[in-house]
Structure 1
Amino acid sequence: MAKDKTWTISELSQEFNVTPRTLRFYEDHQILDPIREGQKRIYTHRDRTRLKLALRGKRLGFPLSEIRHLIDMYDGPGSTATQLKTYIDALQTHKNQLLQQKTDLEQTLAEMEEQEKHCLTLLKNLT
């Protein structure tokens, strides 16, 4: 894919299966910065990459402010090692949160299973 390729709002929306409103939302939050030709938005390779990263971050459950911070790191100057360490720290923090949620869900499901068994036993005794 050539670096000079551009996309319209409808092309990018269709490619990533999001609404044009989603793209405007990311534009409002300074994640995307399309070129303007009157009312028409022209998205560059940079915008496409940032959208892809933003959508991935959203799927992973990162808050929008953190998504923007992580994406912006790759636009600014800085050491690659520093950028990677910051990203790894953010991933580890989020991973730990997800693991805790997983543990909580497993405990809740086990408790629900026990309650269901108890109710079935009670129901069986009533019939």
Structure 2
Amino acid sequence: MSDTRLSFKEMCARFDVTPRTLRYYEYIELLAPDREGRSRFYGPREVARMTLILRGRRWGFSLEDIRQWLLIYEHEGTQVQMRTFVDMADRQLADLAEQKKNLEDMMDELKTLRDDTAKGIV
């Protein structure tokens, strides 16, 4: 494996993604590998973008949000991109907090129902 460029297969292996996923990320313009004939090669820029894409997905961001955020860097630079990320992160943290509260409420309700049911069968 080359230190500067990864083949399509190497990129899939490095990030543990399917070929379909990698092709889809290219199709929606998240990645733009170099092409030599039918072969695709991913340089440091694409590796860094893939790292950011997978982090964003893990944190619950949509692919469109990630795509827009990556475009900001290309068009407006790092400072604007960082400010945008802070705004996106604040919104996502609020959404996750709401989801956490809803899960805790459901768990409490289920525990109560389980406990009430258990008392009835003892």
TM bucket, shorter chain: over 0.9
Q: Which letter does structure 2 place at the counterpart of 1:15?
A: R
Q: Which letter does structure 2 place at the counterpart of 1:56?
A: R
- The percent identity for this pair of structures is 35
Deviation, 1:100, is 0.3
Q: Report what 2:7 is aligned to.
A: 8
Q: Which letter does structure 1 place at the counterpart of 2:114?
A: E
Q: Report what 1:75 is aligned to.
A: 74
Divergent runs of 4+, >3 A: none
Structure 2 unpaired stretches of 5+:
none
Of 100, 103, 106, the match for 2:101:
103
Deviation, 1:41, is 0.5
TM-score scaled by length of structure 2: 0.93
- Are the structure 2 counterparts of residues 31 and 79 from structure 1 closer, same or farther at C-alpha, using a change threshold of 3 Å? closer
Structure 1 unpaired stretches of 5+:
none
Q: Report what 1:57 is aligned to.
A: 56
Larger Cα-atom Rg: 1
Of 82, 92, 95, the match for 1:94:
92
Deviation, 1:78, is 3.6
Task: Provide the C-alpha distance between the structure 1 equivalents of 2:69 and 2:47, rounded to a whole number of angstroms.
Answer: 16
SS in structure 1 at match of 2:74: coil
Q: Which letter does structure 2 place at the counterpart of 1:74?
A: Y
Q: Report what 1:116 is aligned to.
A: 114
TM-score scaled by length of structure 1: 0.89
Task: Provide the C-alpha distance between the structure 1 equivalents of 2:78 and 2:61, rounded to a whole number of angstroms.
Answer: 23
Given that 1:26 and 1:32 are in contact with CA atoms closer than 8 Å, whether structure 2 keeps it comes out as: yes
Q: Report what 2:21 is aligned to.
A: 22
Q: Alpha carbon RMSD of aligned pairs, Å?
A: 1.6
SS in structure 2 at match of 1:75: helix
- Are the structure 2 counterparts of residues 36 and 88 from structure 1 closer, same or farther at C-alpha, using a change threshold of 3 Å? same
